[in-house]
Amino acid sequence: MRIQSLRFLSLGVAALMSIAHIASYADETCNSPYMSGLIRGQEDFVHVWTLGVPGMGDGSDKLVTVDANPASKTYGKVIHKISVGGRGEAHHMGFTDDRKYLWAGGLDDSKIYVFDVGTDPSHPKLVRTIDNLSAKTGYVGPHTFYALPGRMLIGSLSNAADKGGVTGMAAYNNKGDFIAKYDMPTSAIQKIQGDGYGYDIAVNPAKNALLTSSFAGWNNYMRDLGEVVKDPEAMKHFGNTMVMWNLKTMQPDQIFAVPGAPLEIRWALAEGQNWAITATALTSKLWLVKRDAGGAWAAKDVATIGDPAKIPLPVDISITADAKGLWVNTFMDGTTHYFDLTDPEHPRQTFAKHTGSQVNMVSQSWDGRRVYITSSLLSKWDKAGKDNEQFLRAFHWDGHDLTPAFEIDFAKEQLGRPHHMKFTANPQRLASLVNASPR
């Protein structure tokens, strides 16, 4: 995003706030924490789903694997990369239920790549490409990959018919076969109008709850941000809703008005907790979705992120394993924030630091001691000129400050624009049934 776009973005947000319905967006250390194989202590590898850049290396989207174990001789270095042979706006990815495979999507070409990261996480292999999302569902722009047992639930951003924001979710089995589609609601539920937009999806099994957020369609996310914010009509086309679904029936139960593109969603999954949190990109708020004593869910904004008037543009968030803290990156001012969530109804920012000219994704290690940040938001939305830094930065976190651990310049290394990150660890002292039998 060009700096001069800020002024227009402010105007665009004002326009957005004046329209009837609203939307949102968010992310997590592990997308399905109720599944398995969470990482204890030090992660060994960080996998970075990276957008190809014309003229930079092979120009292709690629999965870049970085050695993240300080005890390793190649700590902080790129140890593996696998190109997918094209450029389709690499964006998010998610593990399967057993964390053996990583599904990664392209927002432009709607292709889905399945990488084997279980056999040898230091050398992921591309084992399957799924290219029938649009044909099967009419959706385009696969965004969130959320594991359910034996399946992947995919939240999309757009549709093939008009490339707008009306979209839905698709379910595939772990073999890559299409199972079902679920349109985001476009009618009203309990007098709250659905906008049909989608973005993130997050599940709470104990509550049979599936929560979704909303962002924008292909027409906006594949267009130069400076142009989008100068176009009042385009600025009307951002999501302003979240939807609470019945996970078992896959039917929408409630719609919440959450203005300003709510993005990543994170559940507090500990026993006794009954809430999820998200951040709105355009209105710079934290929103809490909480169940009341009567069993109904409600959404309310509980904190501001930076100075909303300056449009810091909150992007990714990462919740701590105990749901007592939340990292938030704001793209425009390149700041990484930490909020104390001890009282989720009153989050308090306790730390903020400038971590780059542009910062987007943030992922905290499961033990809370390290924080990883990447720079790229979208190929058409990243800043230009010297502010177009493209990096993976790793930090140590001692509860008070972020101190640099290592950094990889993705432009200098001819890799591309780094976006989503996932962690893996070596499966030590385990053997396949093929090679060993219990004594």
Partner 1 sequence: MPRLGAAARGATVLCLAGIAGAAGAGVDPGKATAPRMEFVPPPPGSYALQKIQRVADAVLLDSTGGAVRLSALTRGKITLLTFFYTYCADPLGCPFAHTTLADLRDRVRADRGLAGRVRFVSVSLDPTHDTPAAIATFAQVFNIDPAFEWRFLTARRVPELLPVLDDFGQDVSVELDESGRATRTLHHMLKMFLIDARGEVREIYSLAFLQPQVMFNDIKTLALEAGRTAAAT
Q: Which residues bind partner 1 (CB under 8 A)?
A: 34-44, 97-100, 118, 148-151, 171, 173-175, 177, 179-180, 205-209, 246, 248-251, 271, 274, 366, 424-439
CB of 266 to partner 1, least distance (A): 17
58: alpha, beta or left? (left if phi > 0; alpha if psi -120 to 50) = alpha
CB of 35 to partner 1, least distance (A): 7
Q: Which is nearer to partner 1, 252 or 347 (CB)?
A: 252
Q: Which is nearer to partner 1, 43 or 333 (CB)?
A: 43
For the chain, the residue count is 439
CB of 43 to partner 1, least distance (A): 7
CB of 153 to partner 1, least distance (A): 10
Q: Which is nearer to partner 1, 327 or 423 (CB)?
A: 423
Beta-bridge partner residues of 66 = 46, 78
Q: Which is nearer to partner 1, 270 or 384 (CB)?
A: 270
Q: Which is nearer to partner 1, 403 or 426 (CB)?
A: 426
CB of 37 to partner 1, least distance (A): 4
Question: What CA–CA distance (Å, rounded) separates 241 from 220?
Answer: 17
**Pairing state between β 25-26 and 262-267:** parallel
Q: Which is nearer to partner 1, 187 or 437 (CB)?
A: 437
Choose among 330, 316, 287, 259: nearest CA to 49: 316
Q: Please spell the DSSP secondary structure of 146-178, one letter per residue.
A: EEETTEEEEEEEEETTT-SSB-EEEEEETTS-E
CB of 397 to partner 1, least distance (A): 18
Question: What CA–CA distance (Å, rounded) separates 148 from 172?
Answer: 10
CB of 369 to partner 1, least distance (A): 14
Beta-bridge partner residues of 204 = 209
CB of 174 to partner 1, least distance (A): 5
* Neighbouring residues of 430: CB distance < 8 A, sequence distance ≥ 6: none
Task: Determine which helix (DSSP H) or strand (DSSP E) holds 9, and give its type and residue range.
Answer: helix 5-18
Question: What CA–CA distance (Å, rounded) separates 108 from 179?
Answer: 22
CB of 415 to partner 1, least distance (A): 25
Q: Which is nearer to partner 1, 96 or 390 (CB)?
A: 96
What are the CA-CA distances from residue 215 to residues 100, 157, 221, 323, 368 (Å)?
Answer: 29, 7, 9, 24, 28
Q: Which is nearer to partner 1, 154 or 261 (CB)?
A: 154
Per-residue HEC secondary structure of 65-117 comes to: EEECCCCCCCCCCEEEEEECCCCCCEEEEEECCCCCEEEEEECCCCCEEEEEC
Q: Which is nearer to partner 1, 58 or 183 (CB)?
A: 183
Question: What CA–CA distance (Å, rounded) separates 168 from 145?
Answer: 13
416: alpha, beta or left? (left if phi > 0; alpha if psi -120 to 50) = left
Using a 10 angstrom Cβ sphere, with 0-12 exposed, 13-18 middle and 19 or more buried, the burial of residue 348 is exposed
CB of 364 to partner 1, least distance (A): 15
What are the CA-CA distances from residue 152 to residues 147, 158, 197, 284 (Å)?
Answer: 5, 18, 19, 30
Q: Which is nearer to partner 1, 186 or 426 (CB)?
A: 426
Task: Determine which helix (DSSP H) or strand (DSSP E) holds 6, and give its type and residue range.
Answer: helix 5-18
